[in-house]
Amino acid sequence: MQLIRGLSRWPDSKPCVVTIGNFDGVHLGHQAMLKQLVDLATRHTLPACVISFEPLPQEYFSADKAPARLHGFRDRIQTLSASGVDRLLLLNFDEAQASQSADAFVNDVLVNTLHVQHLLVGDDFRFGKGRSGDFALLQTHAEQSNFDVERYDTINISGSRVSSTRIREYLAAGELSKAAELLGHPYHISGRVIHGEKVGRQLGFPTANIALHKHRPPLRGVFAVIAHDRTTGQSFAAVANLGERPTVGGRRLLLEVHALDSDVDLYGHHMQIEFIEFVRAEQKFDSLDALKQAISNDSDTASRILNSNPQFTNLSNRIH
């Protein structure tokens, strides 16, 4: 997939098939819509293109109240790439973008730059200054500029709409299996392993500290996880803590992962951590000895969870 940062860098005038959205999490609804986009592009021998924004519009208008992102920047790009789209146009959502009228967006971005031939949007899609643009406006422009526009209907699972909002709610409540049902896979966070303060090692439980940068996921606590080392291609069972480590005076959000099978050296490696089951909420302990005992208990709990799940039997011989 070609990542294009900014409208001025759009590479050519070849017509394309386009969809627009945040695509946070790329859940089952997003996946179905992207598949339709790619199928449509294949039939017409045109590039399949996604338009998205950075920061996301809600983050621009109200950074303090914006919902937590499901995926950090790297995960969002990788997941979109895996969907089979050819190009991702990433627009900087700034004052100029926020004040652009819906009509100007269609003309400047879709028609005059991307030369859209087919446009696919979600059934709740709104755009332009004050969210004034809707499907009816797109239909009017489609007739005037000779492109096709199609609305993709929402997918429902268990009687409710599949949405990033629902997934965030499930993750915040520790209901990881319900979140995975809407995502189509276990929720994951990716990042590079960085050096930490070595507190876990001092307690006898060395951890790999995953760099989160600006990403603030919607879940907190201790979890049974599967860690995938993207550098070596190996996977292993682990227990993870996502929080601020109040017992040792931490104030910075960290994802710490302790391998259950061995003391592996992962510094500098790129990891993908799959969250399988919630173990407990993060808490402040009265002493390091109490914290050490809690980590030991958490490790035992994570081992039982992963050993009892047939999905992970290929890892069971490495779980103690």
pLDDT at 111 over 90: yes
CA distance 19 to 150: 10
CATH number, domain of 233, equals: 2.40.30.30
Residue 313 domain boundaries:
186-318
In terms of average pLDDT, the best of 21-25, 104-108, 211-215, 230-234 is 104-108
Q: Which amino acid is at 298?
A: D
- The pLDDT of residue 295: 87
Q: Which residues contact 257 (CB under 8 A, 6 or more apart)?
A: 207, 208, 209, 210, 225, 227, 238, 239, 240, 271, 273
Q: Is residue 149 located within the same domain as residue 250? A: no
Query: What are the tens digits of pLDDT across the range 184-237?
Result: 999 999 999 987 665 555 565 778 899 888 889 999 999 999 999 989 988 999
pLDDT in tens, 127-144: 999 999 999 999 999 999
CATH of the domain at 73: 3.40.50.620
- The answer to whether residues 282 and 215 belong to one domain is yes
* C-alpha 8, offset from chain centre: 27
pLDDT of residue 252: 76
Query: Are residue 191 and residue 114 in the same domain, yes or no?
Result: no
Q: How many domains does the chain have?
A: 2
Q: Looking at the structure, do residues 228 and 295 belong to the same domain, yes or no?
A: yes
Q: What's the pLDDT score for residue 263?
A: 67
User: To which residue do tokens 């629902």 refer?
Assistant: 166
Rounded average pLDDT over 12-16: 94
Q: What is the mean pLDDT of residues 30-48?
A: 96
Task: Give φ, ψ of 95 to 5 degrees.
Answer: -60, -40
Distance CA 97, CA 100 (A): 5
DSSP state of 214: T
174 within a domain of the structure (yes/no): no
Average pLDDT over residues 242-255: 72
The Cα diameter of the chain in Å comes to 72
pLDDT of residue 246: 57
pLDDT for 318 equals 42
Helix 164-172 / helix 176-183 crossing angle, nearest 10 deg:
160
In a domain, 210, yes or no: yes
89 within some domain: yes
Say whether both 12 and 149 belong to one domain: yes
What does 70-105 look like in DSSP terms, one character per residue?
Answer: SS-HHHHHHHHHHTT-SEEEEEE-SHHHHH--HHHH
For residue 250, is pLDDT > 90? no
Question: Can you point out the beta strands (E) in 26-99?
Answer: 48-54, 87-92
**Stronger pLDDT, 107 or 214, i.e. the higher one:** 107
Assess whether 101 and 235 both reside in one domain: no
Q: Rounded to the nearest 5°, which phi and psi values hold at 230?
A: -75, -15
Distance from C-alpha of 112 to C-alpha of 39, rounded to nearest angstrom: 24
Residue 58 lies in a domain: yes
Q: pLDDT for 255-283, tens place per residue?
A: 999 998 766 778 889 999 999 999 999 88
Choice between 263 and 240, residue whose per-residue pLDDT is larger? 240
The sign of the dihedral angle between the CA atoms of 70, 72, 74, 80 is positive
Half-sphere exposure of 100 (CA within 13 A, CB side): 19
Q: Does 190 share its domain with 144? A: no
Tokens 């490495």 identify what position? Answer: 318
pLDDT at 319 over 80: no
Give me the mean pLDDT over the 69-78 stretch.
Answer: 91
pLDDT at 248 over 60: no
